[in-house]
């Protein structure tokens, strides 16, 4: 087994906006523990609002938990999410450079990869346009192209693969499988079970901010389906 890259112990995250509305703090994550090892392909499943995106942000180091602990080896983590990351008034090219810089690459190394990023994204002239003009699908193409070329140690994917058209979905899925085959570490949040089944071997099921079950893909899916069938007894 690979070394542990990120370890979460009994992590909880409360959001301040909802904290101010009433005295009961709202815990988007209540108690999640997880060890992510090098080369692992982990899927995260759970119903809407279960805390999956919040969990990815904790793994990425964007959110600092309000309780519990996070230990991270010195690795670069990139979060692919439509909800954050890009600066709207900058072009695709400049956003790609910024993303690379934030991942710790040297500017000249990022610049050397720009042609490949542009080509993979298939954005053409839009690559030079402010991304405020992009559709959700185009933003996803840019984010995915940067991630696949910049090669973070840990790639965290939040529901973005479903946004592209069928052709780009196939291409990004193939690139991801190749990346995974090379031993890269990936965490994928998705409601698309076939996507998770294709790309991940281990699955974490999260419900109401708590980890319910973590293990082999088939076992966790079987338990999740039993629970859905019973109307959410585990939740």
Ligand X SMILES: Nc1ncnc2c1ncn2[C@@H]1O[C@H](COP(=O)(O)OP(=O)(O)OP(=O)(O)O)[C@@H](O)[C@H]1O
Out of 54, 99, 139, 195, the residue judged to bind ligand X by CB under 6 A:
54
Quote the CA–CA distance of 131 and 68 in Å, as a whole number: 37
Tell me how far, at minimum, the Cβ of 179 lies from ligand X, in Å: 23
DSSP string spanning 101-153? HHTT--HHHHHHHHHHHHHHHT-GGGGGSBGGG--HHHHHHHHHHHHHHH--S
Residue 136 structure tokens: 């959700």
Tell me how far, at minimum, the Cβ of 8 lies from ligand X, in Å: 14
Tell me how far, at minimum, the Cβ of 78 lies from ligand X, in Å: 18
15 binds ligand X (CB under 6 A): yes
**Helix/strand/coil for 229:** helix
17 binds ligand X (CB under 6 A): yes
Quote the CA–CA distance of 41 and 36 in Å, as a whole number: 9
Tell me how far, at minimum, the Cβ of 195 lies from ligand X, in Å: 14
51 binds ligand X (CB under 6 A): yes
Tell me how far, at minimum, the Cβ of 18 lies from ligand X, in Å: 5
If the CB atoms of residues 59 and 123 are measured against ligand X, the closer one turns out to be 59
SS3 content of the chain, % helix, strand, coil (to 5): 45, 30, 30
Per-residue binder mask for ligand X (CB under 6 A), 111-140, x = binder: ------------------------------
If the CB atoms of residues 78 and 145 are measured against ligand X, the closer one turns out to be 78
196 binds ligand X (CB under 6 A): no
45 binds ligand X (CB under 6 A): no
If the CB atoms of residues 8 and 97 are measured against ligand X, the closer one turns out to be 8
Out of 36, 40, 52, 92, the residue judged to bind ligand X by CB under 6 A:
52
Residue 81, CA distances (Å) to 162, 182, 224 in order: 12, 23, 24
48 binds ligand X (CB under 6 A): yes
Name residue, tokens 């988007």: 28
Tell me which residues touch ligand X (CB under 6 A): 15, 17-18, 28, 46, 48-54
């Amino acid at each position: 087994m690979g070394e542990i890259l990120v370890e979460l112990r009994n992590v909880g995250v409360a959001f301040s906006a909802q904290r101010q509305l009433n005295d009961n703090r709202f815990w988007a994550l209540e108690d999640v523990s997880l060890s992510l090892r090098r080369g692992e392909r982990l899927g995260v499943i759970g119903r809407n609002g279960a805390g999956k995106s919040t969990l990815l942000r904790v793994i990425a180091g964007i959110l600092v938990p309000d309780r519990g602990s996070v230990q991270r080896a010195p690795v670069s983590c990139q979060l692919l999410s439509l909800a954050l990351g890009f600066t709207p008034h900058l072009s695709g090219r400049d956003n790609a450079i910024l993303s690379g810089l934030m991942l710790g690459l040297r500017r000249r190394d990022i610049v050397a990869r720009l042609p490949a990023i542009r080509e993979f994204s298939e954005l053409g002239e839009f690559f030079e346009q402010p991304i405020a003009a992009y559709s959700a699908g185009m933003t996803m193409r840019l984010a995915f192209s940067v991630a696949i070329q910049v090669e973070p140690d840990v790639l965290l994917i939040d529901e973005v693969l479903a946004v592209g058209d069928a052709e780009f979905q196939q291409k990004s899925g193939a690139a991801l499988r190749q990346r995974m085959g090379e031993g890269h570490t990936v965490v994928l949040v998705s409601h698309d079970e076939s996507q998770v089944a294709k790309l991940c071997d281990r699955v974490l099921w999260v419900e109401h901010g708590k980890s319910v079950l973590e293990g082999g893909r088939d076992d966790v899916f079987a338990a999740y389906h039993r629970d859905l069938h019973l109307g959410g007894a585990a939740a």
